[in-house]
Amino acid sequence: MSSDPILPDTFVPGFHDVEYVKRMEYAPFGRTGLKVSKISLGTGTLSQLYGDLDEAEGIAAVQMAVRRGINYIDTAPFYGQGRSEEVLGKALRTLPRSAYYVATKVARYERDFERMFDYSAEKTRASVERSLQLLGVDYLDVVQIHDIEFAPNLEVVLKETLPTLEALRKEGVIKFIGVSAYPMDILRQAISQAPGRFDTVLCYCRNTLFDDSLKDFLPFFLENRLAVICASGHALGLLTNAGPQPWHPAQDQTKIVCREAGDYCRQNGVELGKLAMHYFIQLPGPATFLSGMQTQKLVSMNLDAFYTGLTEKEAKVLAHLKERVFPKIKQTHWEGAEVAIYQAALKK
């Protein structure tokens, strides 16, 4: 009897690097019937959100990630106002459609505050149609309602956005429906008020080297048989040697401490991002751990954190940071900061 692991439904002979796929873990994706890779690919980085993008390198990174066993890919119209979906679409056109599951979002769109959010039925349908075109696919595996904490109220989400997605599912355009937000309490409210209507929930920056608040909500999500997507273990770039982009909403004190951590890693020839990734993926419960990767180097690093873990030196540096550096952070999250900026801008 063979001891080889069972290959996932997304495995394509002659395309995948079979040895990598055999080493990847694939977990049930909530009640959807899908099985997704433990590491998944975020593509907010395939846009100007994270600095200049080398498009050819970004496409190569997607190709490499899928060949090496990653089968869940996440994007959104807001990431570069369609740029992420456009670049990702160029990559997907070179890959077998059966080799991946692709997820996008609706409701968050433009950078200017007046047009940033739109939860209406009309815009939701138009957004899904545009995503299909940019991604070059006939259907979307998952469509998520993006950052529901910015909605004027949950009623518009549950009475316009969600029913429109349900109608699109009946039409065969999408398969599963999800919801995302930074504050987790509003996710619990939405799921409670629409029992059984969401298939996935995406939480980001809530399971990092300095924030463990996801664990308080995880039992509720799992009791509701949701596929939990744990995203951004690098805290939107805070937990990397390069540091975050200027738009990062974290408090200045948090940024200073994370900069200290990055400096310590550089002095020791270690990448903070790898340490963050390794820590991030240890939490039991989530179906997949989503990380942005716009270069082949980042794909290799993040997969290495999963496949081989940390070296003795890296583990020692991580222990120092956990004991001496990250406890200095006074506020482990920035909940409400972006919403306050948004509301103030609208009042002006």
Instruction: Name residue, tokens 């942005």.
Output: 292
Q: Let me know if 20 is exposed, middle or buried by CB neighbors in 10 A (0-12, 13-18, 19+).
A: middle
pLDDT by residue for the chain (348 residues), tens digit each? Answer: 345 678 999 999 999 999 999 999 999 999 999 999 999 999 999 988 887 899 999 999 999 999 999 999 999 999 999 999 999 999 999 999 999 999 999 999 999 999 999 999 999 999 999 999 999 999 999 999 999 999 999 999 999 999 999 999 999 999 999 999 999 999 999 999 999 999 999 999 999 999 999 999 999 999 999 999 999 999 999 999 999 999 999 999 999 999 999 999 999 999 999 999 999 999 999 999 999 999 999 999 999 999 999 999 999 999 999 999 999 999 999 999 999 999 999 998
Kindly provide the residue ranges of all beta strands, DSSP E only, lying in the chain, ordered along the sequence.
Answer: 26-28, 35-37, 39-42, 72-74, 101-106, 140-145, 174-181, 200-204, 227-231, 288-292
CA distance 143 to 200: 9
Q: Which of 26, 50, 79, 100 is catalytic?
A: 79
Name the region of 96 (left: φ>0; alpha: ψ -120 to 50; beta: rest).
Answer: beta
Q: Which of 181, 176, 220, 234 is nearest to 200 (CA)?
A: 176
Instruction: Name residue, tokens 């496949």.
Output: 307
CA distance 205 to 145: 18
CA distance 186 to 339: 13
* pTM of the predicted protein model: 0.96
Determine the pLDDT at residue 4.
63
CB 194 within 8 A of CB 160: no
CA distance 294 to 315: 25
CB-based burial, 266-300: b 16+ in 10 Å, e otherwise: eeeebbbbbbbbbbbbebeebbbbbbbbbbbebbb
DSSP 195: T
3-state class of 279 per DSSP? helix
Determine the pLDDT at residue 2.
43
CA distance 236 to 242: 11
CB atoms within 10 A of CB 166: 14
CA distance 293 to 59: 10
79 belongs to the catalytic site:
yes
CA distance 29 to 287: 6
